[in-house]
Amino acid sequence: MLNDMNKIENAATWSKERFDAELEKGYNDMLNGRVTPWNDIYAKLSKAIFEIKNGAKGADAEKFIKGLMNS
C-alpha cells in the first residue's frame, strides 16, 4: 500500500479499523473487476527478478513494486 507521499507502508502498524477498511477496499475492487490479470503480474515479476539477478539497483526494484501496486 502506498501513502500520500508515494511511500510503501507497513500494514503491521495499521489500526484494526484501517486494516479492515483496506481489506474491504480490495474486496470491492475485485468484485467490480478492478484487477490485474495473473499473466500480467507474472510477466512483470519475471522481468523484475531477471533484472535484479543481473545487477539492477535497489531503487529499480522499489520502482517496480510501486508500479505493480498502482496497476
d(CA 70, CA 15): 23
Q: In the 8-state DSSP scheme, what is residue 13?
A: G
Judge if 30 and 40 occupy the same domain.
no
Q: Which of 51, 45, 42 is nearest to 65 (CA)?
A: 45
- Total domains in the chain come to 2
Structural domain that includes position 14? 1-35
Q: Are residues 40 and 69 in the same domain?
A: yes
Walk along the chain (71 residues) and give the pLDDT tens digit of each residue: 556 666 778 889 999 999 999 999 999 999 999 998 999 989 988 888 888 788 876 656 667 777 776 66
Q: Enter the pTM of the model.
A: 0.51
Instruction: Tell whether 23 and 1 lie within a shared domain.
Output: yes
Q: Which three cell numbers stand for residue 52?
A: 535484479
Which of helix, strand or coil describes residue 27? helix
Cβ atoms of residues 63 and 57 within 8 Å: no
